[in-house]
Chain A
Amino acid sequence: MKRIIIDRDKCDGCLNCNIACISAHEEGSNFYTVNMQSPDAETRNFIKFDTQKGYLPIFCRHCDEPECVLSCMSGALEKDPVTGHVQYDESKCAACYMCVMNCPYGVLKPDSKTRTKVIKCDFCDDKPDGPSCVKACPKKAIEVKEVSL
């Protein structure tokens, strides 16, 4: 499967990945027009800073054993057997947030506006040119690579 591979030493915390993610999920917007003030402006990836370790990119791993899928009681979260990516069907989701509780890496979150859905990486719907965050990274700290499923 394809996974976003992180080289954290290369990350310098520019947050272009955040903006690219928000823009990718705001229809018709681009890097320059994206409305960062909108309550819908929610990034699916995070860059944390640690005084000793530096920048720490936190991106959904679409885990081999996804705890979020195992915790999902509505069938909204499923691991695609072909792509290996964990897909989220908003129409099925009942917003119980057991996936938020169960993601060991703290990647998942409720939407802050309505608390009726989960904000989760969708690998930009497996678009042929890859996830927006990866394209936006000027340092190649995140790159899509093939890993065995």
Chain B
Amino acid sequence: MKIVIIGASAAGISAAKTIKASEPVTEVVIISKEDSVHSRCMLHKFLGHERDAKGISFIAEDFFEKNGITWLSNTTVIGLDAQKKTVKTHDNRDINYDKLLIATGASYFIPPIPGLRESKNVYGFRDLKDAQLLDSECNTARNAVVIGAGLVGMDAAVALLARGLKVTVIEMTQSVMSLQLDQKSAEAYQQLFEKNGTEFVLADKVVSVDVDEVGRGKTIHLASGKAIPADVIVIAAGVRPAFNFTEGSGITTDHAILVGDDLKTNIDDIYAAGDVTGIAGIWPNAMKQGRIAAINMLGEKLLYEDRYALKNTVNFFGLTTLSLGNINPEVEENCDIFIREDRNNYQKIVMKKGVVQGVIIQGNIGGTGFWQYLIKNKIVVSSKNKDVFDLSYADFYGLDQSTGEYNYAV
């Protein structure tokens, strides 16, 4: 059997690894438009000159040879023929498959703001290529503007600061990383970034960009009337699943490629995993999806049930935060909010009817992995008759005597 995987990031690599580990005779071909395998979560380390391109890889150097995987790098898939079971590449090759995994991820989106898309010095921060282009800009640029203060924008900002640029971050919402943090925990990061030279313009938005005679965006105009000079612009305003090449193939899509719990599309033998499915745009989930899609492609049945995606960790300037679930509930949701804080820690727990809806743990996040289980599985914790801040895995301690593994006794 020949399995073709499009995409060489978390989902694609994890699928290839799973296939080769359980059925080494299966032929695996990975097609990727990049010429390197890298973890996008470490792009800031590359741009900040903390690591080189090899240093942000998440696989062993001999991964492909050792596992007997064919890797077609620098290759973009432009078409898919589900009847003939072939994919077409940019250099007009037809590659046949028995089973196909689409793990093409997502691509960044430049909002249709006058001057922004036209500017030659506007970059996303998604792939190594983006970071490499930014890297060369950093050699001459002095003023950097980051549009969007989500995790990606903050990653970009931290790298640009490391390169000695003057960084301004523009954000539409009232606070930084508003999907992951509340006002209080966001302020802690904002202050750290400001201390390190970042300027924030919050609750404001870009209305136009002045482009100079060589096509570079020079001045960014905001709704408030502010004008910010820019030598280089990073756009971090969200991503969209990338599946243009499936047009006309018969694969059902919405904003993403639609898959069932077995991660199969509406077409037999075609599966999808990772950001392209729109299920969960976060590394651990993409890895798991890649693994589960692989197992299903090999003919076993395994369902993807871990759809919980409201989770993240943040680590900037040594301040760590865990964020899970609904952390900024609306008043009409009638949640109870509990807060405990000291000099080094801020903890917020959102509860409703004895069930934890969301947590923010800022500061010491050691041993906090159990919270995800409680929230995801809607475990009633009020029966524990204990201060909710003092809960730990020990309160749900269960042992499987035969394997020695833990489980949850709830």
A residues touching B (Cβ–Cβ < 8 Å)?
Answer: 3-6, 8, 46, 48-50, 53, 56, 58, 61, 63-64, 67, 70-75, 81, 92, 94-98, 100-110, 112, 114-116, 119, 145, 147-148
Contact = CB atoms under 8 A, between A and B. Distances in A.
Contact of A100 (B287, B366, B403, B405): B366
Contact of A115 (B60, B315, B394): B315
A60 B39 CA distance: 26
Contacts of B365: 97, 100-101, 109-110
B58 interface: yes
Contacts of A98: 282-284, 312-313
Contacts of A96: 41, 313, 315
B399 interface: yes
Nearest to A114: B318
A78 to B, nearest CB: 9
Interface residues of B, number: 47
A64 B10 CA distance: 20
A71 B14 CA distance: 11
B32 to A, nearest CB: 17
Contacts of B319: 115
26 contacts: A5-B404, A8-B397, A8-B399, A58-B394, A64-B405, A73-B39, A73-B42, A95-B315, A96-B315, A97-B313, A98-B284, A100-B365, A101-B311, A101-B322, A104-B373, A105-B406, A106-B368, A106-B369, A107-B367, A107-B369, A108-B367, A109-B366, A110-B315, A112-B366, A115-B319, A116-B318
B199 to A, nearest CB: 25
Most buried by A among B60, B312, B320: B320
Nearest to B321: A97
A104 B59 contact: no
A21 B60 CA distance: 29
Contact of A56 (B10, B287, B312, B394): B394
A8 to B, nearest CB: 7
B372 interface: yes
The 6 closest A-B pairs by CB, nearest first: A109-B366, A48-B394, A71-B284, A103-B369, A75-B58, A106-B367
Contacts of A67: 284, 369
Contact of B312 (A53, A101, A108, A147): A101
Contacts of A50: 394-395, 397
B99 interface: no
Interface string B19-50: 00100000000000000000101100100000
Contacts of A108: 366-367, 369
Contacts of A72: 58
Contacts of B313: 96-98, 100-101
Nearest to A3: B404
Contact of A58 (B10, B14, B21, B393): B393
